[in-house]
Amino acid sequence: ISLLAKNDLLIIDELGYLPMSRQSRYNLFQLVNSLYEYRSIILTTNKDFTDWGEFFHNDNVAIPIVDRIIHHSHIFMLGGESYRLKEKLTN
């Protein structure tokens, strides 16, 4: 975690796509907590914040992570068709 926390920007792509072990969820919380207000995070996910309790298997963990992520953040909600699927259908 300390090595990742030294970077000015951390990109976490497709959070929630694959299940995480309890230790992984704990490590993610520790990482987000160490970056909070000191470094930048770009995070992509297809999960609504309201579903993070299910993803983390515990609202007591999800709420503090979401709180730290959304504080000082810019949230971009993207929608629409998959560009991968669209490209596949046109070829």
∠ CA 15-20-23, nearest 5°, is 120
Residue 51 CB: number of other CB atoms within 10 A?
13
Element (DSSP H or E) covering residue 13: strand 9-15
Least confident of 9-13, 32-36, 86-90: 86-90
In a domain, 72, yes or no: yes
Residue 51: give its domain's CATH number. 3.40.50.300
- 56-77 pLDDT per residue, tens: 887 788 888 899 999 999 998 8
In a domain, 49, yes or no: yes
- 21-39 pLDDT per residue, tens: 889 888 998 999 999 999 9
Domain count, the chain: 1
In a domain, 53, yes or no: yes
Domain span holding position 70? 9-90
In a domain, 3, yes or no: no
